Amino acid sequence: MKTLLFIILMFVAAGSAEIIESYQITGTVYYKNNQSPMSRVNISVKGTSLSTITDFNGKYKINIANQHAILVASSVGFISQEVAVGQKRVIDFYLVTEKNPVTVEADEEEIKKAIEAPLIIGPLKDKSTNRLGYRNSGVSTLGMSKAEYYQGNVRVYGQEPNLQYNTEGYATIHENIFLDPTRKPLSTFSIDVDAASYSNVRRFLRQGRKPPKDAVRIEEFVNYFTYDYTEPEGEDPFSVYTELSSAPWNPDHQLLHIGLQGRRIPVDNLPPSNLVFLIDVSGSMNSPNKLGLLKSAFKLLTNQLRSQDKVSIVVYAGAAGVVLTPTPGNQKQIILAALGQLQAGGSTAGGEGIKLAYKIAQEQYLEGGNNRVILATDGDFNIGASSNAEMERLIENEREKGVFLTVLGFGMGNYKDSKMEILADKGNGNYAYIDDIMEARKVLVNEFGGTLFTIAKDVKLQIEFNPAQVKGYRLIGYENRRLRDEDFNDDKKDAGELGSGHTVTALYEIIPHDSKSYSAYLKSVDPLKYQKQRNGSDAGYSAELMTLKLRYKQPQGASSRLITRTVVSESIRLSGTSDNFRWSAAVASFGMLLRESEFKGTATYALVEKWARGAQGPDHQGYRREFIGLVQSVDLLAQK
């Protein structure tokens, strides 16, 4: 009997060993169209909860417990691919997009005719004009492949030498401090839907480097992610959401969460677009993560266009020129062919390119439509004969005429973040940094409406804090979006834009009126002699925390509309807050740690990871899971 029992136990143990034996599978996921690696692709074991995501180089590792498992590679907008593991230990995936939207047939002669005529060629001294009326300037290739379009003695730009020094430029950020509402009751700022800072910092962290402090704009970290806010129901194009609880990094303080949700407009109902692609093809763009990635990104955007949309392409190197005349959005083969021929070389006449792009945009202006220049560059361009101030005034003037500017940044080493942020801000547009093909898909496909279609412009917020409830307050981030209090009612003052379906989130750290530790955060000043001091208790509003005011204009409007909300001082327990609240707090904490903020309190990378995991939510596109991975990696980096 004992022998039989022993045999049975041996069989059970053998079976258990087979079940729990672990296999590590590694591999790379590629974008099949151009064989480039795809980051942030979800790799899962079919029928289980096991999953991971690919890194910056498209690589992944995953442990499985059964060689009969099936691995699934999936990403939004791509056809999922399944592979049976079997005896394989290395499995690569090659993903293709869900559909090919190119439906217009065009032969080679049609394509050549469409993109050849506008070229500015040289060194011929021909001073005739092309069919858009732009004078030839004696500049060779101008970003186009010379082999197909040039004969005879044509000058070819040489490649600029590889960059030997890091010349990236970031504007200095002076972190917001705590303010006393008895002396400074109003806080006024412009919304910011940009997310360039987050994806740019992610690039540093993937390379195992800590980013420059001034590369970290906390509001752009927070607004990289979407939030589950209620859709607007009235005539206003966005809804307003508030939530109040304890600040996770300082339980003695409160955290006020303010959210805006833009109305989602179905793509088919969006107004027609007049788009001018303004593409930097100078020598500094000659690398796969610059012009190579740029071309792939614009191909993704092209595939979203409709027949009522039209596209022009302007490039600039030593000078500016047109490589594609206005072309309907459904003639995708012609647009894609023009993009495919772009090559980098030469100096960087960015100012001439901007002027030419706006000139075309105005000539093709669509009344009631979306008129926009999309500038794609590493930011390392000279303005030419014009000064930076003149260029900014030009962009400001064009935005008043209804042509907005979107800026897409690429590359590293010589990246000029500060210049690009200013241009987007002056141009009533948005600014994104594209570090890989998946970020391009996020910005230009998943968030197509929000990136390119404005539903409200010059959106400003003004908060009046009640001294009876608040001893001190601090706006987290938005340092370069602050406005003077009198700017709030000034309709001539520019502010941020909100796109279709966009969410905007802002956070205030508050020192409650009954806090005993406020003296460590509030800088003291001498008592005022001539001002009447009020604490709010005699005004009949003792239960109110603050009054929130918003102003916005319609996309083509000149006069603003006012929204007013009152927020009472009802704080809920942190454990009872929404995922929106806790996720934004975790991301803000991460930004404060990267900036080595004096206000980071008890936050650590380990705590940020814990807070984020508890607020991850559904996360259908994997952006929040990727954030958690970044926190883990920087925690390891900090321990070195």
Contact partners, residue 283, CB within 8 Å, separation at least 6: 157, 158, 159, 160, 317, 344, 345, 346, 347, 348
For residue 25, pLDDT over 70 is answered with: yes
Query: What is the per-residue DSSP string for 607-621?
Result: HHHHHHHHT----TT
The 10s digit of each residue's pLDDT in 423-457 is 999 999 999 999 988 899 999 998 999 899 999 99
**Mean pLDDT of the region 232-244:** 95
Give the CA distances from residue 552 to residues 86, 129, 133, 462, 494, in Å, rounded to whole numbers and listed in that order.
59, 43, 38, 12, 10
Domain boundaries in the chain?
A: 19-95, 108-156+270-451, 186-265+454-522+542-639
The 10s digit of each residue's pLDDT in 143-200 is 433 333 222 322 222 233 333 457 898 999 999 999 999 999 999 999 989 999 999 9
Categorize the per-residue pLDDT at 108 as very low, low, confident or very high, splitting at 50, 70 and 90.
low
Same fold, 19-95 and 186-265+454-522+542-639: yes
Number of helices followed by number of strands (H, E) in the chain: 15, 23
Categorize the per-residue pLDDT at 100 as very low, low, confident or very high, splitting at 50, 70 and 90.
very low
φ, ψ of residue 443 to 5 degrees: the values are -75, -40
**8 A C-beta contact, residue 280 and residue 376:** yes
For residue 317, pLDDT over 80 is answered with: yes
Q: Say which CATH topology domain 186-265+454-522+542-639 has.
A: Immunoglobulin-like (2.60.40)
- The predicted model scores a pTM of 0.81
Q: By C-alpha distance, which of 271, 278, 270 is closest to 314?
A: 278
> Which helix (H) or strand (E) is 278 found in, with range?
strand 273-280
The 10s digit of each residue's pLDDT in 31-81 is 776 567 787 788 999 988 788 888 767 889 999 888 889 999 987 667 889
Query: Which residue's entry shows tokens 């839907």?
Result: 193
Q: Say which CATH topology domain 108-156+270-451 has.
A: Rossmann fold (3.40.50)
Contact partners, residue 527, CB within 8 Å, separation at least 6: none
Q: Say which CATH topology domain 19-95 has.
A: Immunoglobulin-like (2.60.40)
Q: By C-alpha distance, which of 529, 526, 414, 515 is closest to 469?
A: 515
The 10s digit of each residue's pLDDT in 6-20 is 444 444 444 444 444
**8 A C-beta contact, residue 395 and residue 372:** no
